[in-house]
Each structure stands twice: as structure tokens, then as C-alpha cells.
A and B are shown apart, each in its own frame.
Chain A
């Protein structure tokens, strides 16, 4: 079943408009409905969650050994202000990463899971059905879908055992109420922005994360990285003013309107302009810095962004030198957040997050346009280690040199996930190394990964978020090429394979010493948990219509994991029947060979196996021409990822030539 990210994205981009006015919303719904019908006609069940009807609901379900009737259950909890406020907290702690703060299905992971998380604002969403139906779906999740809605690709967790029935009812009441409110935004505009109105808008929309008094300590804060901004200190990250200075009103307006990409802060463009201006007035009362600024008669020193000069190769060369000297200590020489000083500045527990991986400009908070990068360089990012490049030291021309160079560190646009992972057939032996130039001639396939937030121990804000995969076969063996960015290498690999780490910025010649650096006296030790990656394939490939549950299979539909680990360094074949039911196959069944290296914040791995093996019962047998589902799991050991703590992908389709 091919998934259709382009269509889904078209659907998503439609939602934002739907908040603006009823008329546009109606059109959008018509458009979305058309899109959905279109989707359904091509690919059945892509909105597995939404396309169910109430007739699919069983008469009763079993929870904790107790049978609950779904026919005439009285809601055990009735709606009240307290219930709605409890429900909001439960929602923000458990649901927001997928379904989003605005209930529009556009949480952080919305692009990483297929089908996309449900958008509760759509008229055909689950909310058009009874609350009992929703209760069943929340309790049983994607894995509890009726058989005809396989392939169980839905990432919706089963919440029984995690949330109590009472909590589930509270969150359901909240979702129904909030989505009703959000999809009927009447432009009840105040005529003049006021602090009082700002306080009201704040408490209705912002306090759940930013806290009642703006200290960044609302219920959502516990599950946010980066933390929600603490307004009492008066600092925000993206400003037009220099590092450490208070933002202008326009900076605050832009922050509210644009949201913050890659965080749980959505765009609040659907609030009326006067509501947003009211919010600014209110926010400025939360920190005394703004009043002090006025009292002292200060003015904002807004950073001016001139028009960029023409791009030249000479500028690029200068940019490279400037980058290595001034940026590589944190961002690494290839820009993959692996600088020599990086580990020192990162401390997720205190909100000191990783420096941006410059090879993924689609994740730049401010945006990846040249003027936006210029502004980030000139202003710095308050509350982070990112300094500003002050005009006292760097001329505008030098900043443009840097911008030019930074743009060469990444692909010109975000890679698209292909519909089919094509495995080319070649004659003769397969390459033994990822360095082999033949890989340059092979299609590369980009897959997004998301934190495992479905079962058991979870990962909420992983640093690893995609993998690039290539493959070829020669009729006998298949070779996979994989690379993924991880800013820290398992040190033990330095003993056994190629490891290249970003050096500290070079010293001027007269300050360099010839003496070798003192060798670390301690012996290289492996990380507590290894860095690992696994390719997942169904153990049995039938006609491709019945896929195992995407999260490591299920008892009736096992999967194979080809898992490479940094320590002990090898690749092993495993059989899994669920996320906590993964077993290494016995020695005589192991057929994988692998070769890994680490270069400047990126792991490279080659894995090979014969297409077919003698273990026909337990091993995936790969045959050309078949559509083979493939998925990926990655563990970042240095971040404590092990077992169910990992990043995961949905199923994708692979075909061997």
C-alpha cells in the first residue's frame, strides 16, 4: 500500500486556513473532504482512525480483565470546568506530540507517522461519532483496530493501563469541547487591544504550557523540550534585537503568529490581530524589564539586515574559514552538532539543547532563508550558547560569507520520502564499504523517524530524526547502505573502526605546538548503552496486504530485525513479536555481515545478507519483484536509549529489481 505524503501534506496545509473564517473554512472542508475521498479511493484505510464507522465498534471490550459494555454505558464522568481543566492537562502531557496543541493533528511527529495523527477539527473526525466510540478507540488504539483495518500502521497507542478510565473520560470531554471551540472561532474581536483581554487570551491558550504567571511552568512544561518560555525573565530566543536584550513588540507578535518550528509551540495565527496585540501587552507586564526599559527611556537597537551581495566562490571560501574558526567548535566541521566543545554545553535537563544540525535547514527555528540566517547570526539566540556576531567584529560582508557557507552544508531542499524504495540489481560483487563510489550512483531514500511514544518506556524528544537508506542486490545477496546523524560516537568504536571527530578550531601557526596532545590515560570504554540501528522486515511476506504491527510485529505476525550495535560491534538477526518480545536468533541462523564508520556526527553502516536463507520459517526471504514492507528503528545509546526507548518509522514499501 503506497502512502501518499504529498496528498497528506496538501490536506494539512489546508487546515490553517480553516481557522480564519467560516466561509473559507467551509471551502477548506469541501477541499479536505475531496482529498480524503481521493485518498480512500486510491489507498484504502489510510485514515484508518477516521474511516471506521460506529458499526465497527464491538459490543463490549475487555479492560483489565473487566468487560465494559460499549452499548449503553453511562459516562462515568460528567463534564465540568474541573473535568475540562484536568482533561487539558492530560491532553498536553500525553497527546500533544502527535495531535498538536491546536488539536489539528499537527504535533511534532505528525509528519513521521502514516497515517497522520487524527485532526479533531475535521468534520468527519472521530468527534462526529459518539463518545463511547472514542472511548473504545483511545483505550484500544491502533493495535486494537478490527481485522479489516489492518495493516495496523496506526501509531495510536492503546491507553488502557497507562491512563485510568477516569483520565480517558476527562480527556475525551476536553477534546470534544476544545475542538468544538476551535472549529467555531467566532471573530469576537475586541475593538482595542488591552492588557485585560490579553490576560484572558493568555489564560485560555497559553497558560497550559507557559504557566499561570508566565514562569514557563504549566502542566505542558514537564513534557516539553525546549521548555516553554519563561516570560518573567523577559527573554525570547528569536528577536530582532541583540543577544540578551528584550524583544520588540513586533518580535513578540511574530513569535506568537509563527510559532516555533520543531517545538510544541504552534502558530497562533488564528487568533485575531487584536487578541495577539492584547497578548503582547499582557506579556510585557509579566517581566519588569519592559517597564524598566520605558522608564529609562531606552530604545531598541534593532539589527538591520541589508540586501545580500551577489554569491561568489571567493565569498564561499572566506565563509568556510570563518565557519571553521568561529562556528565549528559547537556545530562541528560538517555542521552536524558534533563540535569539540558541544558536549560541554548540552544539558537537556537544564534546557541546554543541542546546537542546530546545519545539514537539516528545514528544522531551523527561524527559517532557512538567507536573511533569516543572517538575522540569527547577528542577533544570537538568547538563553542558548549561540552568540551574536556583532558588527564591532564582523562586517556585513563576513556575515554573508558565513551564510553562503552554511547553505552549502545541507541539501538545497528537504529530501522527499520516495513512494518506493527501489533496490537496484547489479552484476558482480556488492560493495564492502559505504565509502565505495558505486553508492553515489544509487538512489537515496529519506525516512523520517519519531520517538517511540506508543508503548512501554518512551522517548519524547530524540536528537535522531531521520535515516537515509540505499540498497542494491546481485541476485544472491542484498547490501544496505544507511546513514544517520548522531552527534556523539560510542567511544569504543575508535578501537575497531574509522572514527573521525570534529577537531577544535585551529590555532594560529605561531601558537601551535608540535608536541602530541597528552593521550587520555583512561582506556576507551563503551557507552553504557550501545548506539544501534535495525532494519525491520516482516518474517513472512505474503502478497504484501497483511503487514505486521509496525512496532516490532505481533504474536501472529512476527518481524525480522537486522540490528547493528556499536558494542559489541556486530549485526545480528533477531525475531520480534512485539516491542518487548525481541529475541536474537541462534548462532547458526546468523547471516549478516556489517561494516560501520563514524564521520563528523554521522554514522555510516553497510549491512549484507543473502536474499534467501535456509531458515525459511524464521527469516524474511527476499525475492525480486515483490513489494516488501521495510521500517527502521534507531537507538541513541548516549541519550539512554535502549529497549523500547528508541526512534521508529512507519512501514514503507521496498521492491527488488
Chain B
């Protein structure tokens, strides 16, 4: 048997790691914030719909959506997976996606007009390809941890973020700011919350056998770091 398989078996059989809890919490911003206006699509109305929400700051009752929560620790080896990014109604679905290292990201289009997806990626291979209506999906392997800005060179409101996290212990907060990372092996870690506009927060945490609840308030981001 291959060495890797032995190791894998050891991990699975290890009684310590078999017990694992769930990491959950909420991301909030307790400061004052102005609601952003949606974009008007003008002549693209029929193809895109009249309005496109400005998703760079989705805050509902202080709760922040689209926050990438990622766990960092040497023990965390789980990686990979299959993920999907769609171009739909002239926006990216989802607007923020967390994909673990060694994942396959499939980019689709569901729109009746051309888009040119352009990833500002440096560690991974950047993408810059035209999508015509009805075109087949394009697959890309994400093999370096990186925060990647995605834009459409043809429609200036279109933006998304692909966050390649070092392991599979990552998620994106929902519209209510809540997040959950299940099956976290007990241990000491760094937990990072990243938001495209509000900035980034990191906490040192210790996860016990029955999990942990952690909340983030982006008001705590040092002023010079916040992009606001």
C-alpha cells in the first residue's frame, strides 16, 4: 500500500481526530453604514434585468454576508472539491466563493450576451476568456492559496471574489452573517474573517470536542486596513 494511503488510514482511525466539533458564529459590523444603491443596467435591461444589487457590502441589521471564514492550522489537511461559478443575469453567482486548495472550479454562463471573465490571479493561472451565450463550462484547477478578484471586462458592475483557502475548513457567511464549519478536529488554530470592503480579522482559537462559537465584528478592523 502506498505511504499516503497509510497516513490517510491513520488519520481516519485516529481516535483523537475522530471526535470533532462544529465551528459556528456570526459576522457583524456594529458601526454605521450607508446602504449601497443597486446598479442600473440601462440598455442591458432585457438581458440583465433592470437593477443589479451592489454586493460589495451586504449588511442586514448589522449582520454581514459574503464574509469568507477560513481556518488555519498545520494539522488541517483536507483539501479539494468541485465548485461552480456562474455568470447569470449579468452578475456572478455566487458573488464570493471560498474554494479549498486543489479544487476544481467550473465557470459557467447562463446569460444571453457575451461576458469576458478576467481573474486578477497571480499565484494561480489567471483566466481571461470570452464567454459566448450557451458556451461550455471552463474548468480551472486552483492550486495556490490566494484572494482573486474577478471582473467582466465588458460590464463594469460585474465583480466576484474567488478565495482559495489553504484547506477545506472554510465557508462564506450567509445573508444573516451566520457561518458554520462542521467537523473541525479539536486543537489550536487561527480563524480568519475576510470581507472585500470591510477588511480582515484574525483570532486565535482553541476548538474543543464539542465545537466552538466565534463572532466577528468588523468594526474592530484597524482603520488603515479597512478599505472602506
Q: Take A345-B153, A510-B46 as given contacts and tell me if A388 and B114 are in contact as well, using a CB distance cutoff of 8 Å.
A: no
Q: Take A243-B127, A388-B129 as given contacts and tell me if A511 and B114 are in contact as well, using a CB distance cutoff of 8 Å.
A: no
**Docked-complex contact A389 and B130, CB < 8 angstroms:** yes
Flag whether B76 is at the interface (Cβ < 8 A).
Answer: no
- Taking a contact as CB atoms closer than 8 A, the residue among A233, A326, A329, A341 that contacts B122 in the complex is A233
**Docked-complex contact B45 and A330, CB < 8 angstroms:** no
Q: How far is the CB of A511 from chain B (nearest CB, A)?
A: 4
Residues on the A chain within 8 Å of B202, using CB: none
Residues on the B chain within 8 Å of A385, using CB: 118, 128, 153
**Docked-complex contact B113 and A507, CB < 8 angstroms:** yes
- Taking a contact as CB atoms closer than 8 A, the residue among A233, A505, A515 that contacts B45 in the complex is A515
Flag whether A392 is at the interface (Cβ < 8 A).
Answer: yes
Contact flags A225-268 to B (C-beta < 8 A → 1, else 0): 00000000101000000011100000000000000000000000
Flag whether B156 is at the interface (Cβ < 8 A).
Answer: yes
- Taking a contact as CB atoms closer than 8 A, the residue among B44, B112, B125, B128 that contacts A386 in the complex is B128
Q: Take A244-B126, A341-B153, A385-B153 as given contacts and tell me if A325 and B135 are in contact as well, using a CB distance cutoff of 8 Å.
A: no
Bound together, the chains give a CA A508 to CA B132 distance in angstroms of 12
Tell me the residues in window 115-141 of chain B with beta carbons closer than 8 Å to chain A beta carbons.
116, 118, 121-123, 125-130, 132, 135-136, 138
Contact flags B18-54 to A (C-beta < 8 A → 1, else 0): 0000000000000000000000101111110000000
Bound together, the chains give a CA A386 to CA B128 distance in angstroms of 7
Tell me the residues in window 466-507 of chain A with beta carbons closer than 8 Å to chain B beta carbons.
504-505, 507
**Docked-complex contact A387 and B126, CB < 8 angstroms:** no
**Docked-complex contact A387 and B136, CB < 8 angstroms:** no
**Docked-complex contact B129 and A390, CB < 8 angstroms:** yes
Flag whether B10 is at the interface (Cβ < 8 A).
Answer: no
Flag whether A540 is at the interface (Cβ < 8 A).
Answer: no
Flag whether A440 is at the interface (Cβ < 8 A).
Answer: no
Bound together, the chains give a CA A507 to CA B156 distance in angstroms of 16
Question: By DSSP majority rule, is chain B's interface helix, strand, loop, or mixed?
Answer: loop
**Docked-complex contact B129 and A341, CB < 8 angstroms:** no
Flag whether B154 is at the interface (Cβ < 8 A).
Answer: yes
Q: How far is the CB of A288 from chain B (nearest CB, A)?
A: 9
Residue of A nearest to B135 (CB): A393
Residues on the B chain within 8 Å of A388, using CB: 128-129
Residues on the B chain within 8 Å of A386, using CB: 128
**Docked-complex contact B128 and A243, CB < 8 angstroms:** yes
Flag whether A198 is at the interface (Cβ < 8 A).
Answer: no
Number of A-B contacts (CB under 8 A): 82
Q: Take A330-B153, A385-B118, A385-B153 as given contacts and tell me if A513 and B46 are in contact as well, using a CB distance cutoff of 8 Å.
A: yes
Bound together, the chains give a CA A518 to CA B42 distance in angstroms of 7
**Docked-complex contact B118 and A387, CB < 8 angstroms:** yes
Residues on the B chain within 8 Å of A511, using CB: 44, 46-47, 112-113
Flag whether A380 is at the interface (Cβ < 8 A).
Answer: yes
**Docked-complex contact B129 and A243, CB < 8 angstroms:** yes
Bound together, the chains give a CA A387 to CA B154 distance in angstroms of 12
Flag whether A517 is at the interface (Cβ < 8 A).
Answer: yes
Residues on the A chain within 8 Å of B135, using CB: 392-393
Bound together, the chains give a CA A326 to CA B116 distance in angstroms of 9
**Docked-complex contact B42 and A244, CB < 8 angstroms:** no
Contact flags A175-205 to B (C-beta < 8 A → 1, else 0): 0000000000000000000000000000000
Bound together, the chains give a CA A420 to CA B43 distance in angstroms of 50
Contact flags A566-585 to B (C-beta < 8 A → 1, else 0): 00000000000000000000
Q: Take A508-B112, A511-B112 as given contacts and tell me if A387 and B47 are in contact as well, using a CB distance cutoff of 8 Å.
A: no
Q: How far is the CB of B51 from chain A (nearest CB, A)?
A: 12
Other than the known A244-B128, A345-B153, what 11 A-B pairs have Cβ atoms closer than 8 Å?
A: A244-B121, A244-B125, A344-B156, A387-B118, A387-B153, A388-B129, A389-B130, A392-B136, A507-B46, A511-B44, A512-B43
What are 12 A-B interface contacts by the 8 Å CB criterion?
A326-B114, A329-B154, A344-B156, A380-B128, A380-B129, A382-B128, A392-B135, A392-B138, A393-B132, A393-B135, A511-B47, A512-B43
**Cβ-closest 3 pairs across A and B:** A244-B125, A387-B128, A244-B126
